[in-house]
Amino acid sequence: MSKSLKRVARALSDAGLPDTIIEAGETRTAEQAAAACGCEIDQIVKSIIFCGISSGAVRLFLTAGGNRVCAQKASRLTGEELGRADVGLVRATTGFAIGGVAPIGHLTAQPTWVDPRLLEFATVWAAAGTPRHVFSIAPRVLMSLSNATLADFVE
């Protein structure tokens, strides 16, 4: 088991949650993940990392698979202009490679916002630290576990 996968399993265990991690096959995109999990695309949690242009602070946005983060709305939420975080910053901050960034188990905590669309489902699926592994979770539990704030930041 990879270090990344172990961190996600430990985060679930530490929260008293069952280990729902499965090897689903190729899940780098929301479309691939939804097909592998047999669910709607919006039941896939995308972990999108932005970086403050002036501060360099990392921000995490958890959005439904079919939605896109609106950089202007996200910037208003954080109080500064945001840009996409580069691969190195994502890896250094989260401990995960792009394509497998989990919403939990990060190396460094950062402010996190969640797309209200995710709360319309009983269960959602998120990356478990690799591009081939996912885990299922109730969206409100995920919101609590990731210390996320509910907000409108999608296009």
- What is the reported pLDDT for 26? 86
Tens digit of pLDDT for each residue in 97-106?
988 999 999 9
Q: How far is CA 131 from CA 45, 46, 83, 134, in A?
A: 13, 12, 23, 8
DSSP H or E stretch at residue 10: helix 3-14
- What is the reported pLDDT for 1? 77
Say if CB 124 and CB 139 are below 8 A apart: yes
Which of 30, 75, 28 minimizes the C-alpha distance to 54?
75
pTM of the model: 0.95
**Contact partners, residue 98, CB within 8 Å, separation at least 6:** 87, 90, 91
Split at pLDDT 50, 70, 90, the class of 28 is confident
User: What is the arithmetic mean of pLDDT over 49-71?
Assistant: 96
Which of 154, 126, 155, 120 minimizes the C-alpha distance to 140?
120
- What is the reported pLDDT for 99? 86
Q: Which domains does the chain have, with CATH numbers?
A: 3-150 (3.90.960.10)
Tens digit of pLDDT for each residue in 40-56?
999 999 999 999 999 99
**Residue 152 pLDDT > 90:** yes
